[in-house]
Amino acid sequence: MPSEYRKGSHTIFSLQFHLVWITKYRYKILRGEIAQRTKSLVRRICEEEKAEILSGVISPDHIHIVLSIDPSISVSTLVRYLKGKTSHQLQMEFESLRKRYWGQHLWAWGYFAVSVGNVTDEIVKQYLEHHFEGIEGEDAFRIDQP
């Protein structure tokens, strides 16, 4: 089994997602101490939620991050934790953010999410075609029986 798979008590998985979210009004606030604190908060939240950071970038007005997540948590739940907890904590710690956002949301509504990995649609199709060689019919959802 390849080393890129992660293991849980009863699971073996590789669920990877590219996530992007932006600051409200696209303000370029993620600089210096705020960017450093955001990075540490995102790392801590990911550790708490069993999400492994594979790569990421904190730009002045948005965050790109590629994560491997545990199957026990949904992407939407993880993003809600990341955006909610970082917004709350950053506004508590930085008065300039409290003034700019009046104690409201630091992040814009929504986010971008896409699954990533090294298995393409073509590889899956080839596997299925090979697996069902010699079986008649056009059904794309079949039962594997000898």
Q: What is the pLDDT along the chain (146 residues), one digit of tens a residue?
A: 445 788 888 888 889 999 999 999 999 999 999 999 999 999 999 999 999 998 888 999 999 899 999 999 999 999 999 999 999 999 999 999 998 988 689 999 999 999 987 666 676 666 656 655 555 555 554 434 34
What CA–CA distance (Å, rounded) separates 54 from 35? 18
Tally of structural domains, the chain: 1
Domain membership flag for residue 14: yes
Predicted pLDDT at 123: 66
Looking at the domain assignment, is residue 78 inside a domain? yes
Shortest CA distance to 124 belongs to which of 112, 134, 114, 132? 132
pTM of the model: 0.79
Is 1 contained in some domain? no
Query: Which one, of 56, 130, 46, 118, lies nearest residue 82 by Cα?
Result: 46
For residue 93, the domain's CATH number is 3.30.70.1290
Residue 71 placed within a domain: yes
Q: Look at residue 139 and tell me if it is in a domain.
A: no
> Which residues have a catalytic role annotated?
127
85 domain residue, yes or no: yes
Q: How far, in whole angstroms, is CA 4 from its chain's centroid?
A: 16
Residue-level pLDDT at 92 = 95
CA nearest to 86, candidates 67, 68, 107, 104:
107
Domain containing 82 equals 6-118
Could you give the CA distance from residue 126 to residue 129 in angstroms, rounded to a whole number?
5
pLDDT at 14: 87
Token pair 């299925």 in the structure block, residue: 128
- Assess if residue 87 is contained within a domain: yes
Q: Please report whether residue 130 resides in a domain.
A: no
The total number of residues shown for the chain amounts to 146
CB 101 within 8 A of CB 86: no
**How does DSSP classify residue 74?**
-
